[in-house]
Amino acid sequence: FCNCQSPVMFDYDEATAFLGEWGPFQRLIFFLLSASIIPNGYTGLSAIFLAAIPDHWCRVPSNANLSAAWLNASIPLEKRGGRQVRSQCRRYRLEALLNFSAGNLEPGRDVNLSQVGQEECLDGWEFSREYYDNTIVNEWTLVCDNDWKAPLTVSLLFVGVLLGSFISGQLSDRFGRKLVLFVTMGIQTLFSFIQLFSTSWEMF
């Protein structure tokens, strides 16, 4: 026969009596710990805004001798999200537009735009400032052929969060939670500061 004893049940208040009553010291510790963790949330949320993709379209050189009508019609329209919007990666061939403008032809009236050739954004991009003044997308032109880099940035961040969740638990059991908490906070602060001075997407 098993001489097993039933597990001893401890009263919660008795088990935590050594912590003391909920007084000023406990409130202070609770506040300091909570305040120290708040910036950690900013790191995760900041990636959403830093890697946001503003509306963009091909740049037409400012010295291009185009009429206002041809300048407005220089970007072809495409259907995206059920709406007709400006293409983000193509423009009408600038050489053809210059010839049409010099001949006083009007887009849509004298020239069928569907018959005009298109080209890539050879002179870079213009970015909308309506919602975001500056993001890594317009900082390093992560659009069109490089549009995979912005989502990858956010994905890599959260892969790091996932791995850190496993590793930090093991380290906390071995070296203590307080030490690991403050060391990782220091590392996060350091790398967030270095990130401000990123000179390329790879460094960011």
Residue 55 pLDDT: 92
Of 118 and 20, the structure prediction assigns the larger pLDDT to: 118
Query: Does residue 8 surpass a pLDDT of 70?
Result: no
Taking the C-alpha atoms of residue 84 and residue 54, their distance in angstroms, rounded to an integer, is 17
Could you tell me which residues come within 8 angstroms of residue 106 by beta carbon, excluding any fewer than 6 positions away? Answer: 69
| pLDDT at 144 (0 to 100) | 92
pLDDT at 26 > cutoff 60: yes
Two tokens, residue 59: 């740049």
pLDDT of residue 40: 79
Q: pLDDT band at 87, cuts 50/70/90?
A: very high
pLDDT band at 30 (very low <50, low <70, confident <90, very high): confident
CA distance 201 to 199: 7
What does residue 126 show for φ and ψ, rounded to 5 degrees? -105, 140
Instruction: Please tell me the number of Cα atoms within 13 Å of 97 on its side-chain side.
Output: 25
Q: List beta partners, residue 92.
A: 118
The string of pLDDT tens digits covering residues 34-54 is 888 888 788 878 888 889 999
> Rg of the Cα trace of the chain?
29
Strand residues in the chain grouped as ranges (E): 56-58, 77-80, 83-86, 90-92, 118-120, 125-127
pTM: 0.73
- Does 101 score more than 80 pLDDT? yes
pLDDT at residue 81 in the model: 82
Instruction: Quickly count: other Cβ atoms within 10 Å of residue 49's Cβ.
Output: 10
- Which of these, 152, 155, 132, 135, lies nearest to 51 by C-alpha position? 135
Q: Answer whether residue 120 shows pLDDT above 90.
A: yes
Letter string b/e over residues 89-111, b meaning 16 or more CB atoms within 10 A of that residue's CB: bbbbebebbeebbeeeeebeeeb
| pLDDT of the residue at 161 | 87
Average pLDDT over every residue of 15-27: 76
Closest CA to 188 of 18, 5, 37: 37
H/E stretch holding 178:
helix 177-195
